[in-house]
Structure 1
């Protein structure tokens, strides 16, 4: 974060500009900076509170992509950090004061996912789920799911989805998929009714209506992901019957060592598979001959997507070797997060080497068929534990 003196100087200079230019500048700022400028002057505060400005800002911020991570040293020494692709620094979201009024000090929180202004956390001790709005500083307890209390290890990132309603409305849907009594089931919570609804998914016998991550696509929630096969649920709008898809994978049977799904740790793990939104990224690594160290280097990254009938994983693209050479660093532990929206696939790989975390953010544009690298500044995570990571849409003014 910038120093207070630097922020004050910049703010005073901003007030001297024409109002149209001030509005243009504010529309380009991330939400934390917009709130900071509210305290600069009465005229800027009135501009930010104007309903026309709020509408324009929310429309523009909806296209911004945020990466959020939740890190902690101890149970109560935890901070939510956010980085957006339209900025060059991390923002700190102070939620501790919001949480302490409802959450016991002995509770252990894990960050599950986010959408817009909604942030979902799992409580490991009480096995509850809560929704936090860091902008409004509110907390909502989610009623227990039909499957009962769940510890944090029961939640799979690729098997759940948080869907926010229109900006300013405050409604949301939380979905997750599980096998229940040998049947694939979609569980859905609606904030409107404050109730859960469960639906047994039907088998897929047709063509999946998919538009490559654009509006109207079904949401894909993973139930099981193995080395060569997966089971997912595809669900559309509320009220539609979800569909089971069972894609097979025939592209990686010759790897040496073992593979890991979502999280790779150990000398034998040379292939990491990361899933999200009907896509799969395979990160292949190679061991580095360092004495008494499980050290590896990233060798390649592949993007695969569901076929139109949902019966197989289809190869889409390799990350160019020139880009791999720029981003690869030694690692012992690696995990990933993957999402797709509006025709762009985004993947983040977090690796750890000797207590130092490194973050790689890559994007693949389906229309351009090109990979881009989003450089991420150091998040100062040395000595901290990672307690959750996710992509999210833009935050909104209220």
Structure 2
């Protein structure tokens, strides 16, 4: 198009075009001109255009696991030890990798949950856990840590839900300071809804008996957090409105390995390897989908035998972890960067191309930084997250009023 036409387009049309750019291009377009930089940075653009009409990008964000691959998988999955934290953003639609750095995240914190373009980081040290929430794309973060949890914990399950005005953080289980301590299993919730700053965690209720959230993951859907329990296999559900736990049966209670819950576009799926080798229950990798009324699990898809043989040759009994985002389910073999991707829309299986940022002089031959593997999260890259600005603004106002009140006193 003739540049003279571009320069005469009204801001409202330019804003609508820019809204449909992928997040990496959006940042590059800030350097086109002062006019575009001012437009993209304006509150009007964010509230009236981007938050209303911009398409959602369902991508994945991977981190290097802090622990070696032979360590118990329940342990925290960090991304650095006294180094600048680094993550790897994958676009499954364009099959592109991007590298993100987190210079403002201090050592001693590990990524634990994601939602609404935000990542929740939990402190690694046993004791009263502290939480930091950040936006990896815009490099923004909570100016203050969330208050420490009321109960000391070792390796709890952590859940996060965030939208434009609300943040829910859930911490459940592992109320102990060492693996030899006696457990007192409880649930804590931190809720910020824009109405004010909350300075404490709410102790909601005790978890049901025999809880063992080995994966440490929570999946949020329709106002509920879902957790996969091991030994015995059970799906536990926490309703954020009633503050109550309930439980439901998985599709199979026996003969399954590495069961994982994932959420894709408002539907809950369970992925597991079937270990029983009988005619009625052959060995396979299966995906079940929860019915819309939540009453039963439907057998959604089964990996074809040839593809299953290839997957088993790579997995080799190490187990795997799953995460869902948009139309995709990513299945990552533990202790590696090898990831199998299932497209729910196209109904196809494919291997994610290797991350080019993992293969460097410091990486070993498997490309995973010493065999530690990758740990993935569902992630929607969001250049703008109003709830972060709202939280920081109200926190600063609260601190300012507190200081003034103390000064006057």
TM-score by length of 1: 0.65
Which residue is 1:137 aligned to?
140
2:198 to 193, 196, 220: 193
Alpha-carbon distance in structure 1 between the residues aligned to 2:351 and 2:183: 44
Pairwise CA distance, 1:233: 2.3
The answer on whether the counterparts of 2:235 and 2:247 sit within 8 Å (CA) in structure 1 is yes
Count of matched residue pairs: 318
Out of 76, 83, 97, which is 1:76 matched to? 83
Q: 1 CA distance for matches of 2:3 and 2:333?
A: 43
Which residue pairs with 1:390 in the alignment?
A: 377
Question: Is 1:176 the counterpart of 2:171 in the alignment?
Answer: yes
The 2-side partners of 1:322 and 1:44 are apart by: 53
Q: Aligned-pair distance for 1:281?
A: 0.6
Matching of residues 226-241 of structure 1 within 5 Å? 226=231, 229-236=233-240, 239-241=241-243
Going from structure 1 to structure 2, the CA distance change for 1:164 and 1:16 (only over 3 Å counts) comes to farther
Q: How does 1:1-398 map to 2 (within 5 A)?
A: 18=6, 19=9, 23=15, 26-54=18-46, 55-61=48-54, 63-71=56-64, 72=79, 74-96=81-103, 98-99=104-105, 103=106, 107-125=107-125, 128-134=130-136, 135-139=138-142, 140-148=144-152, 150-151=153-154, 154-156=155-157, 160-166=158-164, 169=165, 171-178=166-173, 185-191=186-192, 192-200=197-205, 217-222=222-227, 224-226=229-231, 229-236=233-240, 239-247=241-249, 249-250=251-252, 252-253=254-255, 271-276=257-262, 279-284=269-274, 300-306=284-290, 314-321=297-304, 324=307, 328=311, 330-332=314-316, 333-339=318-324, 346-351=328-333, 357-364=337-344, 371-373=347-349, 376-380=352-356, 381=358, 382-384=367-369, 385-386=372-373, 388-397=375-384
Q: Alpha carbon RMSD of aligned pairs, Å?
A: 4.0
Q: Secondary structure at the match of 1:240?
A: coil
Cα distance change on mapping 1:195 and 1:165 into 2, 3 Å: farther
Structure 2: give runs of 5+ residues left out of the alignment: 65-78, 176-181, 209-219, 277-282, 359-366, 386-409
Structure 1 position 362, deviation (Å): 2.1
- Structure 1 residues 43, 85: CA separation in 2 closer, same or farther (over 3 Å shift)? farther
Alpha-carbon distance change, 283 to 33 in structure 1, aligned in 2, over 3 angstroms: farther
Q: Distance in 2 between matches of 1:15 and 1:183?
A: 67
Give 1:373 deviation, angstroms. Answer: 4.8
Alpha-carbon offset, residue 189 of structure 1: 0.6
**TM-score, normalising length from structure 2?**
0.63
Regions of 4+ moved over 6 Å: 13-17, 179-184, 307-311
CA contact (8 A) 1:66 1:393 kept: yes
Name the stretch that deviates more: 51-60 or 17-26: 17-26
Structure with the higher fraction of residues in strand conformation: 1
